[in-house]
Structure 1
Amino acid sequence: MTLTTVVFDIGGVLVDWQPHLAWTDEMTPADARAFMDRIGFNQINLACDAGASFAAAATEIAVTEDAARLAQYVARYPQTVPRKVPGTWDVLYELKAAGVSLHAITNWSAETWPQGLKAHPELGEVFETTIVSGQEGIVKPSTAIFHRLCEQAQIAPEACVFIDDGLHNCIGAKAAGMDAIHFKGADRLRTELQLRGFL
Structure 2
Amino acid sequence: MATVVFDLGGVVVQWDPVPAVAAAVGLERAERFVHGGEFDFAAWNQAQDAGRSFADAEAAALATHPHLAEEITSYRPNFAHALTGLVPGTAEVLRALHERAVRLVALTNWSAETIHHGPEAFPDVFARFDDVVVSGAEGVAKPDPEIFRILARRLGHPVDGVVYVDDSPRNVDAGRAAGMDAVRFTGAAALLEELRRRALLE
TM-score normalized with structure 1 length: 0.92
The aligned counterpart of 1:35 is: 33
Asked if the contact 1:164–1:170 (Cα under 8 Å) also holds between the matched residues in 2, the reply is yes
How many Å apart are 1:65 and its aligned residue? 4.8
Which deviates the most, 84-93 or 30-39?
Answer: 30-39
The aligned counterpart of 2:145 is: 143
Deviations 1:38-93 (A, max 9, x none): 32111110000001122212212244452343223222111000200000110010
Cα distance in 1 for residues equivalent to 2:193 and 2:109: 26
The aligned counterpart of 1:81 is: 83
For the residue of structure 1 that corresponds to 2:23, the secondary structure is coil
Which deviates the most, 91-100 or 118-127?
Answer: 118-127
Amino acid at match of 1:38: E
Which deviates the most, 100-109 or 116-125?
Answer: 116-125
The aligned counterpart of 1:5 is: 3
Residues 1:176 and 2:174 are matched in the alignment: no
For the residue of structure 1 that corresponds to 2:175, the secondary structure is helix
Task: Give the alignment's Cα RMSD to 1 decimal.
Answer: 1.7
Asked if the contact 2:91–2:125 (Cα under 8 Å) also holds between the matched residues in 1, the reply is no
For the residue of structure 2 that corresponds to 1:74, the secondary structure is coil
Q: Kindly report structure 1 stretches of 4+ aligned residues shifted beyond 4 Å.
A: none
How many Å apart are 1:14 and its aligned residue? 0.4
The aligned counterpart of 2:116 is: 114
The aligned counterpart of 2:51 is: 51
Cα distance in 2 for residues equivalent to 1:52 and 1:122: 29
Amino acid at match of 1:29: L
Cα distance in 2 for residues equivalent to 1:119 and 1:145: 25
Cα distance in 1 for residues equivalent to 2:155 and 2:20: 34
For the residue of structure 2 that corresponds to 1:23, the secondary structure is helix
Cα distance in 2 for residues equivalent to 1:112 and 1:123: 17
The aligned counterpart of 1:125 is: 127
User: Cα distance 1:32–1:72, how it changes in 2: closer, same or farther (>3 A)?
Assistant: closer
How many Å apart are 1:165 and its aligned residue? 0.3
Asked if the contact 1:54–1:71 (Cα under 8 Å) also holds between the matched residues in 2, the reply is no
User: Cα distance 1:83–1:48, how it changes in 2: closer, same or farther (>3 A)?
Assistant: same
Amino acid at match of 1:107: N
List alignment gaps of at least 5 residues for structure 1. none
Cα distance in 1 for residues equivalent to 2:128 and 2:149: 21
Amino acid at match of 2:58: A
Counterpart selection for 1:18 from 7, 16, 34: 16
Amino acid at match of 1:118: E
Matches within 5 A, 1:69-108: 69-108=71-110
List alignment gaps of at least 5 residues for structure 2. none
The aligned counterpart of 1:189 is: 191
How many Å apart are 1:152 and its aligned residue? 1.4
Which deviates the most, 35-44 or 165-174?
Answer: 35-44
Asked if the contact 1:75–1:115 (Cα under 8 Å) also holds between the matched residues in 2, the reply is no
